[in-house]
């Protein structure tokens, strides 16, 4: 399968490129970068491998020659790439988070003409966590307060994280409610007693933490905690590549890692 990587010179892009090269059944056909200065460079030189004869190109050219493109960039860039995917009929794997409602609508429209896999987290372990959180929330009544705690490195720009919001959506789905109706993302000052049924979020930032998430179900007399801790970004790369291979011969549509892992 011909794989392209958006942002191939970045930290995730370099790791993705290496994994594509080392994975049977995959061919790295190109990468793109936002600066014109990078265009034309050999990707092998960028990722400190042997000369590959595979060049950094414009994003438009990348979509024309790839079967699937993997994107861990920014919401603005990813939305533009979704439009390119629809135009070229190329599969798009989205690991980017932090989309506005309007940006998400563009991605959904693009999926009518392309296979798109979008997930707040590409890790297999986190997607199992989504499933477990939904089942636990469905089993427990609202006497159990739900709190979601997440921590990431100091440079992460969106909060709560896309994974935390995904966990919140899983919990809300289990309870049969909409997350927007029950989410409490900011607490400051004299806030009064916790509202029954709300799903709370707490955000921590610091150091080089890859990603840590915990969901707490707290009631009188007991507390249930379920957590996932990432120690390497490799787990996101492996999941994204698995998703790219999964898109082969799939019909146009918007899919999740739950679909890829048959957890839906």
Q: How many C-beta neighbours within 10 Å does residue 197 have?
A: 15
Query: pLDDT digit string (tens) for 193-209?
Result: 999 999 999 999 999 99
Residue 246: the pLDDT is 96
Q: How many domains does the chain have?
A: 2
Are 103 and 204 in a shared domain? Answer: no
Are 56 and 160 in a shared domain? Answer: no
Q: What is the pTM of this model?
A: 0.84
Query: pLDDT digit string (tens) for 76-122?
Result: 999 999 999 999 999 999 999 889 999 999 999 999 999 999 998 99
Are 108 and 239 in a shared domain? Answer: yes
Residue 108: the pLDDT is 98
**pLDDT band of 226, cuts 50, 70, 90:** very high
Torsion of CA 11, 16, 22, 28, to 10 degrees: -120
Question: Half-sphere exposure of residue 10, counting CA atoms within 13 Å on the CB side?
Answer: 16
Residue 204: the pLDDT is 97
CA distances from 4 to 54, 155, 224, 248 (A): 10, 26, 42, 14
Are 144 and 91 in a shared domain? Answer: no
Provide DSSP, 22-42: HSTT-EEEEEE-SSGGGTT-B
Query: Largest Cα–Cα distance of the chain, in whole Å?
Result: 63
Domain hosting 219: range is 124-230
Q: Which two tokens stand for residue 64?
A: 């024309």
Are 150 and 242 in a shared domain? Answer: no
> What does pLDDT average to over the chain?
94
Cα–Cα dist 172/170, whole Å: 5
Are 31 and 114 in a shared domain? Answer: yes
Active site residue 76: no
**pLDDT band of 39, cuts 50, 70, 90:** confident
CA distances from 7 to 28, 119, 198, 229, 235 (A): 14, 18, 38, 25, 18
What CATH number does the domain containing 183 carry?
A: 3.30.360.10
Of 152, 213, 228, 238, the catalytic one is 152
**pLDDT band of 48, cuts 50, 70, 90:** confident
Residue 231: the pLDDT is 94
Are 202 and 244 in a shared domain? Answer: no
Are 130 and 27 in a shared domain? Answer: no
Active site residue 251: no
Cα–Cα dist 243/236, whole Å: 11
Are 101 and 132 in a shared domain? Answer: no
Are 171 and 96 in a shared domain? Answer: no
Give SS3 for 74.
Answer: coil
Are 59 and 20 in a shared domain? Answer: yes
The 3-state secondary structure of 90-149 reads CEEEECCCCCCHHHHHHHHHHCCCCEEEECCCCCHHHHHHHHHHHHHHHHCCCCCEEEEE
Are 113 and 237 in a shared domain? Answer: yes
**pLDDT band of 264, cuts 50, 70, 90:** confident
Residue 190: the pLDDT is 94
**pLDDT band of 38, cuts 50, 70, 90:** confident
What CATH number does the domain containing 40 carry?
A: 3.40.50.720
Of 156, 185, 242, 250, the catalytic one is 156
């Amino acid at each position: 399968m011909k794989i392209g990587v958006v942002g191939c010179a970045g930290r995730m892009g370099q790791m993705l490129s290496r994994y594509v090269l080392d994975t049977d059944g995959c061919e790295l056909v190109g990468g793109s970068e936002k600066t014109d200065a990078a265009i034309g460079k050999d990707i092998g030189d960028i990722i400190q491998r042997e000369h590959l004869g595979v060049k950094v190109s414009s994003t438009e050219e990348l979509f024309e020659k790839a079967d699937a493109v993997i994107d861990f960039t920014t919401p603005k860039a990813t939305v533009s790439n979704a439009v390119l995917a629809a135009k070229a009929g190329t599969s798009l794997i989205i690991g980017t988070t932090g989309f506005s409602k309007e940006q998400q609508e563009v991605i959904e429209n693009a999926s009518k003409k392309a296979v798109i896999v979008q997930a707040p987290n590409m890790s297999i372990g986190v997607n199992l966590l989504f499933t477990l959180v939904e089942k636990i929330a469905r089993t427990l009544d609202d006497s159990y307060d739900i709190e979601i705690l997440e921590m990431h490195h100091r440079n992460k720009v969106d909060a709560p994280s896309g994974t935390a919001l995904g966990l919140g959506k899983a919990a809300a789905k289990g309870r049969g409610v909409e997350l927007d109706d029950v989410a409490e993302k900011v607490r400051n000052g004299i806030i009064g007693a916790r509202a029954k049924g709300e799903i709370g979020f707490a955000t921590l930032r610091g150091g080089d933490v890859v990603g840590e998430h915990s969901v707490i179900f707290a009631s009188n007399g007991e507390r249930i905690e379920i957590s996932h801790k990432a120690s390497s970004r490799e787990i996101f790369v492996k999941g994204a590549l698995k998703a790219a291979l999964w898109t082969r011969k799939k019909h146009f549509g918007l899919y999740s890692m739950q679909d890829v892992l048959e957890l839906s």
